[in-house]
Amino acid sequence: MVTKNPQRLAEVGPIDPRTGFPLWYEDATGTRLDLAWQRDDPNTPVIAGLDESGTLRGIADFPGESFYMTAEAELPLGGGGQDGEVRVILALEATFATEGVADGQQIVFGRIRFRVRDGRPETTYTLTHPYGTVQATTDDRGRVTATEDVGLTPLEFTGALGGHIAPFLRWPPDPALPEGYIGDGTTEHTITGSPFNTNFALVDGPGAGTAGGNSDPNDPGNPDKVYTDQFVLQGRSATIHGVEITRAIYRRAASGTVTVEVFARSVPGQQLGASLDGGPQTPLQGGNTPNYLSRMPADNTVPTQVTLTNQTDPIALPVTARVTDAVEIIQADYDSTNQTLTVSATSSDQSGAPALTVTGRGGLSGPVGAFALDAPPATVTVVSAAGGTSTANVRVVA
């Protein structure tokens, strides 16, 4: 029987401009872990070696693999012609979709791996672990590696939220636990946090427990079971929370007056500042939720870009976005009798009146465009010469 964990991670953090990876992931308990890619932290030693590393955004020797959390356990395995072993890996991993370190190919995925070596040939083993159960059948050499990876699309970091690594594991209270960590990355230790209260690894298979491992505490002496509650656990609490610009638009009135609206996301309780084209910083309002807003006058000049900084962070990591107009689609109607698609849209720039174009169809004449089509697309996208864009569903009116 296979059991899947129904729990999921809750949030993914803003992108770290240094690495292109999210600054943190958060579980439903509020535990927020950052990516441990620096080589000088003795409590987060589990990263790829230099032979698998490369330069990323000016960072030399960036690891080809690094982790937000990893928990590993090993068990001796009997029942085969020789003593074997089982390795269990539970991880939220950062790596690259292509071989080697390559900007633009960043991926983060949740991994559950069950590896058997030198077990009985063509035999099914069942693993119970903190996030559920999994079964795997060995080949004719008594080997199998069963791996589940969730979140393998480059730059789509929300994909890892659909994996089964949730909530994050941690050591039970222990004075030896370094402050700010869930484990020390080196010591075998008990853990807590399993949604099933299965804070262990248990392998069930013919003769599995005959190689000297620990018996199942709930079934002592059973030769077909081997058990451990000892994991090497790595993870570090996030201290840099960053900021993400979710929207940056300008509105220009017919008189020429310009106002810029900046929408941002971070964790609650942060002090965020916005700067237009390198000018003075303006604080953003918000803080009770992850959402923040700034509405800034810009006289009669449309700024090129906005820069946001989380002033609460111990290390400032400014992020920048282009300022565009806002496009609103007023009408996207298809008349099936006349076989005509009518699209109407406006720009937030009432003075400059930038040209508006329906993607794949053509420009609007003023705010309206009519296009002869024997059948319409499901949606239309209108793009402004000032950078704004908007997509709407097509409505069939006749």
The distance from CA 233 to its chain's CA centroid, rounded to whole angstroms, is 20
Which range (77-81, 228-232, 381-385) has the least confidence? 77-81
pLDDT tens digits, residue range 95-133?
A: 999 999 999 999 999 999 999 999 999 999 999 999 999
The amino acid that residue 176 corresponds to is A
pLDDT at 27 over 90: yes
pLDDT value of position 82? 85
Provide the token pair at 60.
């030399």
Provide the token pair at 365.
């004449």
pLDDT at 366 over 90: no
Reference 325, options 297, 299, 304, 296; nearest CA is: 304
Residue 318 to residue 313: CA distance in whole angstroms: 11
Provide the token pair at 372.
């002869």
The architecture that CATH gives domain 327-396 is Sandwich (2.60)
Collect all residues with Cβ–Cβ distance below 8 Å to 258 and sequence separation of at least 6. Answer: 250, 251, 252, 297, 298, 299, 300, 301, 302, 303
The distance from CA 22 to its chain's CA centroid, rounded to whole angstroms, is 6
In this prediction, residues 232-252 reach a mean pLDDT of: 98
In this prediction, residues 373-395 reach a mean pLDDT of: 97
Query: Three-state SS across 191-207?
Result: CECCCCCCCCEEEECCC
pLDDT at 190 over 90: yes
pLDDT at 1 over 80: no
**Domain 327-396 in the same topology as domain 244-324:** yes
Confidence label for 333 from pLDDT (cuts 50, 70 and 90): very high
Alpha carbons within 13 angstroms on the beta-carbon side of residue 34 total: 19
pLDDT value of position 374? 96
pLDDT at 299 over 90: no
* DSSP strand pairing (305-310 vs 319-322): antiparallel
Percent of the chain scored above 70 by pLDDT? 100
The amino acid that residue 332 corresponds to is A
For the chain, the structural domain boundaries read 11-236, 244-324, 327-396
Rg (CA), the chain: 27
pLDDT at 306 over 90: yes
pLDDT tens digits, residue range 143-170?
A: 999 999 999 999 999 999 999 999 999 9
Q: Give this prediction's pTM.
A: 0.93
pLDDT value of position 393? 98
Grouping H, G, I as helix, E, B as strand and the rest as coil, residue 73 is strand
Confidence label for 369 from pLDDT (cuts 50, 70 and 90): very high
pLDDT value of position 170? 98
Confidence label for 80 from pLDDT (cuts 50, 70 and 90): confident
The architecture that CATH gives domain 244-324 is Sandwich (2.60)
Which letter, b or e, does each residue of 272-301 get, where b requires 16 or more Cβ atoms within 10 Å of its Cβ? bbbbbeeeeebebebbeebebebebebeee
pLDDT tens digits, residue range 44-71?
A: 999 999 999 999 999 999 999 999 999 9
In this prediction, residues 311-317 reach a mean pLDDT of: 96
